Amino acid sequence: MADRFAVTAPATMGFAPSSVASRGAIILNKLLALITRGFLDASSYRLNFIGTYFGGVLYVVFYALLARFIGKPPAGVQAYGDYFTYLLIGSTFVRYLSLGMKHFSRELEKQMVAGTIEPLVATATSPAFALLGVSAWILVEGVLVMLLELAVGVFVFKADLARANWPAAIALAVLTLVALNSWGVISAAFVVVFKRADPLNWFVDLTAFIFCGVYFPVTLLPIWLRVVSYALPLTYAIEGLRGALMQGRTLGESGTHALILIAFDLLLIPTSIAAFRYALAYTRRTGSLGHY
């Protein structure tokens, strides 16, 4: 099984390294190889593969029915528009953006169980790239599922994105991905050292759907619970994305959300780098990378 999904040599991926951009081409080749490997692995389990996309469509159907059942937009939603679009944006983006928090550690743990981590690290690839790159396909697939859900929401259930400011939305999504992927790297470092998934992973879904405003504005929460909401980057991401996609706000008009997300990035990026370096140093010292 490991041979079937092995990462091929960079030269086979179709990018001939040049004297100017050889390193970038090699990195891109390896990234494409890891994405291809992830796709082949995922698609070999056909029911799960199809279920991922079918499940995304079912989410959209559920939110359309929920919005129809509720009827008039609840308090705090009217400023954005209709409730279905409000739910669609919140759910679609929060499930994608939270991928980085959960799937680095989950995919790394899965590869450790399969025994494919050590062969990857033994190649001419940096250990950090080999260990984290196994999740590349998960992030790509997340984009595909997100686009499918948005397409079904717009073309089938008439979600209103007529005023959407896509450049601002993409910028906010990137800022959020950086923060949450940094958290995901910290989770992956936990797996490298302790060989078990980050015990806080279960907390991600709970906080995202209750405290980050997926179903309702966080202003409806009691004041003492809003403290939790405003300590989470996803809260600012969802509010900013809804403003950009439903109200057409520019990045400047969402400046507060962007600045807070940048602050999370500046905090989590160095923390994640330090944590993963420690994890790699620990496995080199103990020789425990292949243990599980």
- Which are the contacts of 69, defined by CB distance < 8 A and separation ≥ 6? none
Alpha-carbon distances of 234 from 29, 79, 173, 243, rounded to whole Å: 32, 20, 10, 14
Average pLDDT, stretch 36-46?
86
pLDDT at res. 111: 65
- 78 C-beta neighbours (distance < 10 Å), count: 12
Position with higher pLDDT, 98 vs 252:
252
- The first and second tokens of residue 22, run together, are 């050889």
Distance CA 157, CA 59 (A): 12
Do the beta carbons of residue 200 and residue 105 sit within 8 Å? no
Query: Is 90 exceeded by the pLDDT of residue 75?
Result: no
Query: Is 80 exceeded by the pLDDT of residue 54?
Result: yes
Q: Which of 3-7, 63-67, 70-74, 99-103 comes out lowest in average pLDDT? A: 3-7
- The first and second tokens of residue 228, run together, are 């939790």
- The first and second tokens of residue 153, run together, are 């929401």
Tell me the per-residue pLDDT of 17-28, one tens digit each, with 9 for 90 and over. 455 567 777 778
User: pLDDT grade, residue 193 (50/70/90)?
Assistant: confident
Position with higher pLDDT, 208 vs 85:
85
Distance CA 86, CA 101 (A): 23
Position with higher pLDDT, 214 vs 130:
214
Average pLDDT of the chain, as a whole number: 81
- The first and second tokens of residue 20, run together, are 């100017």
Distance CA 148, CA 144 (A): 6
DSSP 3-state of 263: helix
Nearest to 137 by CA among 112, 110, 115, 163: 110
Tell me the per-residue pLDDT of 236-248, one tens digit each, with 9 for 90 and over. 999 999 999 999 9
Nearest to 62 by CA among 82, 97, 80, 88: 88
